[in-house]
Chain A
Amino acid sequence: MDLAHLHEHLGFSRAWVLWFLLLLPVVFLLYREPSVELTTDRLGLWRRALARLPRRKRRKPPLGLILTLLMTALIVLAAAGGGRPEREGPRRFAVVVDLSPSMQYPEKGVRRLRTLLPTLEAELRAIPPWIPGRLLVLRDEEMGEMTRWKALAVGSTEVRGLPTLSAPRLGGLARLGLARRLAERSGASTAVLLYADGAGPSPWPKDPPDNLYLRAGGSAEAKNPIGFVSARVLDPWPGAELQVQLGLRQPVAKGVALLLVSQGHKAQQKIPLDEGGTELVKIDVPRAFGAEITLELEPGDGFALDESLVLKPRPAWGPTILSRPFDDKDLRVLEGYLEEELAAEVLTDEGLFATKKDRLLLMEGGELARWPTDGMPRLCFGTRLPGLSRVGALEGPVEWERGDPLLRGLELSTLRVDEGLRGQLPEGARVLARVGGQPFLLLMPERRMLWCATELGQSSLVEQAFLPLLILRSLRQLAPEGAATSLTGLLDPREADVAARPAPRSRPTPVFFRPRRPYWPEILGAFLVLLFLRFFLA
């Protein structure tokens, strides 16, 4: 123990009692062994006898008196409330760990987060066990609490679990400012230790408060040349193929390919990317390639988080199609198209139509006496509906809703219609096109029906190019709802900057609060030992 810092280890709650130490000389006088005085004329002989003794035996220390003085001093020290004085400092601490994607950057083969763990553990080891702490993580632009207040021991489950946290889920930014807010909100009694790399769009907090301690890690030379910066999927569902558009950070070098792997590696496809080519890659992916498809850049640059995407196509519809009448040639053309496009099954037997699979009914002509309630999608051409059963001439130009998603980009001006059904517009029907001011194409999503005022054979519909696209787009709304196509795993492009930045101000671990600790157990123990020795010597 350094005497210069003795006051940090020894203090007294009743220091005035120490004045009783002045009684030690009195105790000395009372308990000292009286010196026996002997008058002798043999002083020369005594001197010779003394000289023959070993030097260490010539003087006999007054152990009894020394022990008595020590015991008296111990009693005074105990009465004075001797103990280790309280030390001011933070009474709690919070460890905030940046779990942003850049913390997964491999630094010489070891993830950046893992390289910070020894520093974290050393700091935890230096924190007294009576200081409660908690562990928080920064990711996805939020600060999550991993533990409540407790003693964070070195090697605890939470600390050990840090480097194994699932990296693919780390898609969002780590807002280091949240740690600053935590420090400001907690006040000076809580020390906030922020472990981060400062990489990416969220910078180190400027002018951090005094209770925020920044711990930086990572290399400033880290680079991340390969990776996706954008991803878009165009799904013409229920069409058979999807188009995926991928944006690359920069044109890739020769040899880099895009690897498509379906779930469970049942299918795999490798698409070479041109050297020095475009930064935008467009590929068509068959819907049937797999339910979950991984798109990876291979070989990557080591930082894999932005080199992998997961595509989950909306499953193909594949309904059973029944046409009424089943022998109409125009319907047959439409059947053939839908059979191929939707991988559907065309039935001719009415009985087999009662399957559990989704069904699609094509109707030309005929009449519905009431609105159907079976939820089956229907494409009706010239079918009489309740309120729309009167036949009349349709003359005039074709007008269509050009802004409607179903008709966007389609051209209907070449459509020729002679006559069609007229009547009262059904409730909830959306008019897609009119001829001569009369509704010609109606979409009724609630009744799962696309209705045309004329039969296929009484117009030039079959010849129109927009018809297949309109039918496919309509079926997207009429078909039973299912999971939408998703393309996930795209890293926030701002997180692509993995170069670490040094912390603006790094300070050593603070001196934490230490409660006062009385020394009376030690003093009592020492007193009893001395008392035993005293009696033993006596």
Chain B
Amino acid sequence: MIPPDDFDQLLPAFLDLPVYPPTVDLDERGRLRVRAEFGDFKGHVPYTPGEDLRFLDWSVLARTGHKMCRRFELVRHRRLSILADLSPSMRSREEGLRDLLRLFGFLGLHRLDSVELVTGDKGGTESRLFIGATDYERYRETVLGLTLDGGPPEIAPEEDRSLGRMLISDFQPEEEWRARLAQLRQQGHAVLSLFPRLPVEAGDDSTLWEGPSMLRDLQSGENLSVAMTPALYSNFLEEQEDWEMRMGALSKDLKHGFMAVDLPKAEHRADYEAWLPFLARRAETRRFTTTNPFAAS
């Protein structure tokens, strides 16, 4: 068992906030959740202690003074499907990826009914299902045991359940991902693409350095030797912003969602506010965002 770290201790604090893992269409289905997930009204049964208070009929209690619980014939299941890109190229943001997976899994298991973790491993796409808040520890062990030497995950056909898909990747190479997103749309899937930005990609001045640099792409094995200068860095930030704009426009056209959010720096990992940009409020409709606050400055 991997001992809990600061981030694990931070996670319960998110339960006090009205925040959810962001998805493209889970919110819309959530509005129908009472009828869709709990089925048609079947009748009342007396309340027994320990029963889920969500089924307590408050109007009967107010009218008669008796605690009665409602019963439904059909319950619709709410599942968060997290598709994680485990390509070697994701190693540069490995730490943030594991935190994000834990955060989304934790909230998904506590706010929803189940979490499906879909990863592209060496042998192909692997899907792991976690149900209920009590399954979080297993989920955590799984996330922390992932190795980034696989590839992008393949999406299985949609099942009959309320499903929100979230795809976490670096979306590189760009052309391949554009084709993959288009194919998903043709298959009728809608996903929320989430790009976790590193500080160096967000234009954080504290990450700027000057001098000889060796840029390594672990996936392709290519290296690029450059003399890092403010001019080159500024050009890169512009390219990064253009890329995010292109991805956002593409996702909009394909009716996908796209989010590019800054990963907190190491010293801010234990601060829950630093993670709020990755989450959605219940009342909000966050389809996608391309906001890059550093580039704007």
A: residues with CB less than 8 A from B are: 33-50, 52-53, 57-60, 62
Contact sample, A vs B, 22 pairs, CB 8 Å cutoff: A33-B212, A34-B211, A35-B213, A36-B212, A38-B200, A38-B214, A39-B217, A41-B90, A41-B92, A41-B170, A41-B218, A42-B240, A45-B239, A46-B215, A46-B239, A49-B233, A49-B238, A53-B229, A57-B231, A57-B232, A60-B210, A60-B211
Contacts of B228 in A (CB 8 A): 36
- The residue of chain B having its C-beta at the shortest distance from the C-beta of A36 within the complex is B213
Question: How far, in angstroms, from A472 to B226 measured CA to CA in the complex?
Answer: 122
Kindly state the separation between the CA atoms of A35 and B214 in the bound complex, as whole angstroms.
6
Interface flags for B167-202 (1: CB within 8 Å of A; 0: not) read 000101110000000000000000000000000110
Given contacts A42-B236, A50-B226, 17 further A-B contacts (CB under 8 A): A34-B212, A35-B211, A35-B212, A35-B225, A38-B214, A40-B215, A40-B216, A40-B217, A41-B92, A42-B170, A43-B222, A46-B215, A49-B232, A49-B239, A50-B235, A60-B212, A62-B212
Query: Closest A-chain residue to B171, C-beta based?
Result: A41
Interface residues on B, range: 35 or more
- Is B227 an interface residue when CB atoms closer than 8 A count as contact? yes
Residues of B within 8 A of A44 (CB): 172-174
Given the interface pairs A58-B226, A58-B227, the reply to whether A43 lies near B215 with Cβ below 8 Å is: yes
Per-residue CB proximity of B212-254 to A under 8 Å, as 1/0? Answer: 1111111110101111110111011011100100000000000
Interfacial residues of chain B within 54-99, with CB under 8 A of chain A in the complex: 87, 89-92
The answer to whether A49 and B173 have CB atoms under 8 Å apart is no
Name the one of A39, A46, A53, A59 contacting B231, with C-beta atoms under 8 angstroms.
A53
Task: Report whether over half of chain A's contact residues are helix, strand or loop; otherwise say mixed.
Answer: mixed
Return chain A residues, CB-CB under 8 Å to B217.
39-41, 43
Q: Which residues of the partner chain B approach A50 to less than 8 Å between Cβ atoms?
A: 224, 226, 232, 235
Complex alpha-carbon distance, A7 and B91, angstroms: 59
- The one of A41, A46, A53, A59 in contact with B224, judged by C-beta atoms closer than 8 angstroms, is A46
Choose one: A36, A45, A48, A53; the contact of B214 (CB below 8 Å). Answer: A36
B209, CB-defined interface residue at 8 Å: yes
**A36 touching B89, Cβ below 8 Å:** no
* B91 lies within 8 A of A39 (CB): yes
8 closest cross-chain pairs (CB), A and B: A49-B235, A41-B89, A60-B227, A49-B236, A45-B239, A35-B212, A43-B217, A41-B170
Knowing A43-B224, A45-B243, say if A52 contacts B172 (CB, 8 Å): no
Interface centre among A35, A36, A45, A60 (most CB of B within 10 A): A45
Give Cα A42 to B243, complex, Å.
Answer: 10
Residues of chain A with a CB closer than 8 A to B173's CB? 44
Residue of A nearest to B225 (CB): A35
Contact residues in A for B232 (Cβ distance below 8 Å)? 49-50, 53, 57-58
Cβ-defined partner of B213 (8 Å) among A38, A45, A47: A38
